[in-house]
C-alpha cells in the first residue's frame, strides 16, 4: 500500500488550502481524508472534510461554534468519493469560506 499526502493552495494569497491524505493499493483507494482549511484572523480553521474514518465515505461540515454536521456519501467506491471530494472543494471553496466567515461574525 502507498500513502499519498499533499497540500494544495487554492487562493493566490495562500489563505485557503486543501489537505489530502489517501492510502492506495495499486489503483484502489482504501481510505482518504480531503480537507478544506481557511486562514481567518491568522488561524487555520478546518471548514469541510471528506473522509472514511468511520468505515464509510462521508463529508463533515465543520461549523465555527465547533458543531459538526455529517453527511454520508453514497458512491459505489472510495475512488469515486475521493475524486468527488477533491473536485467539490476545488470548485466550491470560496462559497464554503464565505459561509464559515459568516458564522465567525455571529
| pLDDT for the residue 85 | 98
pLDDT tens readout for residues 90-100: 999 999 999 99
d(CA 79, CA 28): 6
Instruction: Give pTM, 2 decimals.
Output: 0.94
d(CA 28, CA 23): 9
* Confidence band, pLDDT 50/70/90 cuts, at residue 5: very high
Please report the DSSP string for 38-91 in residue order. EEETTEEEEEEEEE-TTSS-EEEEE-TTS-EEEEE---SSHHHHHHHHHHHHHH
Domain ranges of the chain: 2-105
pLDDT tens readout for residues 57-71: 999 999 999 999 999
| 3-class DSSP assignment, residue 13 | coil
d(CA 17, CA 7): 7
pLDDT tens readout for residues 8-29: 999 999 999 999 999 999 999 9
Amino acid at each position: 500500500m502507498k500513502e499519498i499526502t499533499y497540500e494544495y493552495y487554492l487562493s493566490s494569497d495562500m489563505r485557503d488550502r486543501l489537505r489530502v491524505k489517501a492510502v492506495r493499493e495499486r489503483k484502489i483507494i482504501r481510505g482518504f481524508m480531503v480537507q478544506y482549511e481557511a486562514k481567518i484572523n491568522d488561524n487555520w480553521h478546518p471548514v469541510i472534510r471528506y473522509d472514511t474514518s468511520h468505515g464509510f465515505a462521508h463529508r463533515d461540515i465543520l461549523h465555527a461554534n465547533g458543531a459538526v454536521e455529517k453527511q454520508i456519501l453514497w458512491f459505489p467506491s472510495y475512488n469515486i468519493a475521493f475524486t468527488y471530494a477533491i473536485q467539490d472543494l476545488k470548485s466550491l471553496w470560496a462559497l464554503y469560506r464565505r459561509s464559515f466567515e459568516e458564522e465567525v461574525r455571529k
